[in-house]
């Protein structure tokens, strides 16, 4: 396999010639082709009007590309408005009245994957949080203490949005299944920057969104549901686009689609489908394994250099324990982010850390500019 021409690919993101952009964990840089796709939507609206045939195709193109990305079947993918929408649709199909009422989440969750499960307490769910160990990581031994025969679902993030740590999803899934529980993974901070094969991981459900490493836009997400599980799951969060026959317009009953479309709801976010189709196309042409290798190279370089300047990241060092984000502790994370931005270096912050997130379109100069600024700012903010 020949390596992609990363230098040429970088030119497709005009922002990168103006900024050191280390913020893909919040929102990706915009590719020319994605901008063109937004413009195409405008053209279609101006000149064609209601272009429903094309719009349905765009939604299906996103479904097909997400399936390709995850190594799943298109019928196992629901195209949703957000990750939250996918989790809510799934949660609405689960019962928590019986013995298996436990949902195991982790302390690394993005709020939505905790709050929605806590919202199920009204239906009888008991939500438990797997805490981090003394080294700051959440290993299998931590999950071992809380996943049991009363667990219905283990719902965990693949990469933590706060500290960039990557969990052992295959290992957690094996443990969940051995104890009769199902497994949901939140891929949001991983998909596009980490190769994900839902069949190899053997997860039952996966959610994510299009605006970060998938190069698309806000306002679109997905839910993967393993084919064999779909018929028994009847969401009460529903809508006409979740029906077996959308055009039947039948108001006499709820007839859910036999596929993962049953987790969808209303009119698709058409403009977001245009943009996300283009973003996914770009990413899949680069190839996620190639993107992941490039990201690992850059994050490793960044973490090594941070050690050298005496300001180490809290993100785990081992390649298999981290994703595209490097988190660095700071006394005044918001102030530091602002000082970096004043130097045209775009990062973000969560809690008491700044986050530098890398994609394949970053390069060694970005690492160099970031480290030089951090070295300079070290005396103003050091823990």
Ligand X SMILES: Cc1ncc(COP(=O)(O)O)c(C=O)c1O
Rounded to a whole number of angstroms, the minimum distance from the CB of residue 169 to ligand X is 13
Please say which residue, 137 or 161, places its beta carbon nearer to ligand X: 161
The angle subtended at Cα 70 by Cα 64 and Cα 76, nearest 5°, is 60
Please say which residue, 37 or 85, places its beta carbon nearer to ligand X: 85
Please say which residue, 112 or 254, places its beta carbon nearer to ligand X: 112
203 burial (CB, 10 Å; 0-12 / 13-18 / 19+) is buried
Distances (CA, A) of 375 to 42, 58, 96, 171, 370: 45, 46, 52, 38, 9
Rounded to a whole number of angstroms, the minimum distance from the CB of residue 244 to ligand X is 26
Rounded to a whole number of angstroms, the minimum distance from the CB of residue 207 to ligand X is 7
Please say which residue, 216 or 256, places its beta carbon nearer to ligand X: 216
Instruction: For residue 92, count other CB atoms closer than 10 A to its CB.
Output: 17
Rounded to a whole number of angstroms, the minimum distance from the CB of residue 150 to ligand X is 26
364 burial (CB, 10 Å; 0-12 / 13-18 / 19+) is exposed
Rounded to a whole number of angstroms, the minimum distance from the CB of residue 190 to ligand X is 8
Please say which residue, 9 or 62, places its beta carbon nearer to ligand X: 62
Rounded to a whole number of angstroms, the minimum distance from the CB of residue 305 to ligand X is 25
Tokens representing residue 24 in the block = 């893909």
Under 8 Å between Cβ of 14 and 32: yes
Rounded to a whole number of angstroms, the minimum distance from the CB of residue 91 to ligand X is 13
Please say which residue, 188 or 358, places its beta carbon nearer to ligand X: 188
Please say which residue, 38 or 110, places its beta carbon nearer to ligand X: 110
Please say which residue, 188 or 370, places its beta carbon nearer to ligand X: 188
Query: Contact residues for ligand X (CB under 6 A)?
Result: 82-84, 110, 112-113, 157, 161, 186, 188-189, 209, 221
Rounded to a whole number of angstroms, the minimum distance from the CB of residue 381 to ligand X is 24
Rounded to a whole number of angstroms, the minimum distance from the CB of residue 378 to ligand X is 28
Distances (CA, A) of 190 to 164, 166, 182, 210, 357: 9, 8, 20, 11, 11
Please say which residue, 23 or 84, places its beta carbon nearer to ligand X: 84
């Amino acid at each position: 396999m020949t390596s992609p021409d990363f230098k040429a690919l970088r030119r497709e993101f005009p922002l990168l010639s103006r900024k050191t952009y280390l913020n893909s964990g919040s929102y990706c840089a915009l590719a020319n082709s994605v901008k063109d796709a937004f413009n195409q939507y405008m053209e279609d609206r101006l000149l064609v009007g209601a272009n429903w045939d094309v719009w349905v195709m765009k939604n299906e193109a996103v479904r097909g590309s997400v399936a390709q990305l995850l190594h799943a079947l298109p019928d196992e993918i629901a195209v949703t408005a957000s990750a939250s929408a996918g989790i809510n649709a799934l949660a609405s199909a689960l019962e928590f009245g019986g013995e298996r009422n436990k949902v195991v989440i982790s302390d690394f969750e993005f709020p939505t994957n905790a709050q929605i499960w806590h919202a199920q307490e009204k239906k009888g769910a008991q939500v438990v949080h797997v805490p981090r160990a003394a080294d700051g990581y959440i290993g299998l031994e931590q999950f071992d203490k809380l996943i049991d025969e009363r667990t219905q679902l283990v719902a965990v993030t693949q990469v933590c949005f706060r500290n960039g740590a990557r969990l052992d999803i295959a290992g957690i899934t094996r443990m969940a299944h051995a104890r009769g529980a199902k497994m949901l993974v939140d891929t949001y901070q991983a998909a596009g920057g980490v190769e994900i094969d839902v069949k190899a991981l053997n997860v039952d459900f996966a959610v994510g969104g299009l605006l970060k490493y998938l190069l698309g836009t806000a306002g679109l997400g997905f839910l993967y549901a393993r084919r064999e599980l779909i018929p028994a799951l009847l969401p009460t969060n529903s809508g006409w686009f979740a029906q077996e026959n959308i055009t039947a317009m039948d108001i006499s009953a709820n007839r859910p689609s036999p596929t993962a479309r049953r987790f969808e709801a209303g009119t698709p976010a058409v403009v977001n489908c245009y943009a996300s189709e283009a973003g996914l196309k770009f990413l899949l042409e680069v190839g996620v394994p190639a993107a992941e290798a490039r990201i690992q190279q850059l994050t490793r370089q960044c973490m090594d250099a941070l050690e050298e300047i005496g300001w180490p990241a809290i993100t785990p060092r081992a390649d298999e324990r981290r994703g595209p984000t490097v988190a660095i502790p700071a006394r005044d994370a918001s102030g530091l982010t602002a000082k970096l931005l004043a130097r045209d270096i775009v990062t973000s912050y969560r809690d008491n850390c700044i986050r530098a997130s890398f994609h394949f379109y970053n390069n060694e100069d970005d690492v160099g500019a970031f480290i030089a600024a951090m070295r300079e700012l070290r005396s103003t903010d050091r823990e």
